[in-house]
Chains A and B, each alone.
Chain A
């Protein structure tokens, strides 16, 4: 069964600091997460780690989420969102 997801207000503020297209990507990633197998194992302070990378206009955008699963209510909660942008080509 699919889970729902919601953002802590702090995470929502973090989402608001992202460019709009990247914020949409975060929500798409969360939709994918809650409809797939629940397989997070790597921990970080504030929850489990989920990160992903997107490329846009020659830059690489790294997005870092910490999430907390509530299996009783079947909700994934995002506690925080961070990002880092690597400008320019990364390949050697």
Chain B
């Protein structure tokens, strides 16, 4: 996010909290918009067949999401300093949720995606009943 250094300058001026809140809200909006663009791009480049796995494309998309999540974290860290001063920022909760969802998606590796699809294609699946039973056993 190219505007983060600008945000740092605004944040360093403790006499302009209203301006800092406005800039923060704009950056949150820009970040969420960027995520939507990545998601929209993803819908267009993935293979039509959900069982098909195009690893090079998946790796490039993953890189875009990783970069977005990293930049969102930088922004969230800065806004946390504003929160500590008691300043609220519009749209921040939405950014926290979008970041959490993206990190959950990124928590699964490309290898794992490929293995999951291969399991399904080759019939290595576990039924709902078996899964429930295993969970109950685990819970004791």
Q: B-contacting residues of A (Cβ < 8 Å)? A: 4-12, 14-16, 20, 23-24, 27, 30-31, 42-49, 51, 53, 60, 62-64, 66, 68, 77-84, 86, 90-92
Contacts and interface: CB of A to CB of B under 8 A. Distances in A.
Interface of B: 39, 42-43, 46, 50-51, 53-54, 57-58, 61, 79, 83, 87-89, 92-93, 96-97, 99-101, 103-108, 110, 112-113, 115-117, 119-120, 124-128, 131-132, 134-135, 138-139
Contacts of A10: 112, 115-116, 119
B84 to A, nearest CB: 11
A46 B87 CA distance: 41
Query: Interface of chain A, helix or strand or loop or mixed?
Result: strand
Query: Interface of chain B, helix or strand or loop or mixed?
Result: helix
Given A24-B135, A46-B113, A62-B101, A79 B88 contact: no
Contacts of A83: 104, 107
B38 to A, nearest CB: 11
Most buried by B among A5, A27, A92: A92
Given A4-B128, A6-B131, A92-B88, 11 more contacts: A8-B126, A12-B126, A16-B134, A23-B135, A45-B61, A51-B104, A53-B100, A62-B97, A62-B103, A81-B108, A84-B100
Contacts of B92: 92
Given A45-B61, A79-B113, A64 B119 contact: no
B39 A42 contact: yes
B104 A79 contact: no
Contacts of A90: 93, 96-97
